[in-house]
Amino acid sequence: MLHQCVHCGNGDASREEWYNGGGGSSSSSNSNSSSNSAVIVVVVVVVVVVVVVAVVVVVVVIVVVVVVVVVVVVAAAVVVVVVAAVIVVVVVVLAAAAVVVVVVLAAAAVVAVVVAAAVVVLVVVKELVVIVVLV
């Protein structure tokens, strides 16, 4: 039975040549298998390096995304705290203004009562003076 030669494609290779990957001396067979092993090692190393680089890139991207999310959350918290502080200050200022308005209105009411009392006293005194003068 004829087998196809691995090197030349002819159909006259013996069974040993076909099984040994082309036959010939054992040194050529060993060099062929060692070059195949070297290619396999290089391919494995390249694949491992690519996988490691891909994993490192994914980890770096995840870390960057986490840091960005943390920064955004902290910034949002700071904005919320600042807005809350501004609201508290505005409420305190409005409450103080309301107290001032109430005090001013109370003082105005007291002044109005005093002025009204003074007017009444003056009217009464005037009437008394008129009565005394007429008598």
Evaluate whether residue 4 is within a structural domain: no
Judge whether 1 lies within some domain. Answer: no
Tally of structural domains, the chain:
1
What the block records as the tokens of 39 is: 């290619």
Whether 3 is covered by a domain: the verdict is: no
- Count CA atoms within 13 Å of residue 3 on its CB side: 14
Give 31's pLDDT tier (boundaries 50, 70, 90).
Answer: low
The residue among 109 and 28 whose pLDDT is bigger is 109
pLDDT band at residue 93 using 50, 70 and 90 as cut-offs = very high
Residue 75 domain-assigned (yes or no): yes
| Percentage, residues of the chain above pLDDT 90 | 62
3-state secondary structure of 133: helix
- Per-residue pLDDT, averaged over 14-20, amounts to 51
Whether the per-residue pLDDT at 129 is higher than 80: the answer is yes
In a domain, 7, yes or no: no
pLDDT for the residue numbered 2: 54
Instruction: State which residues form the domain around 37.
Output: 15-134
Residue 6 inside a domain? The answer is: no
Domain assignment present for 9: no
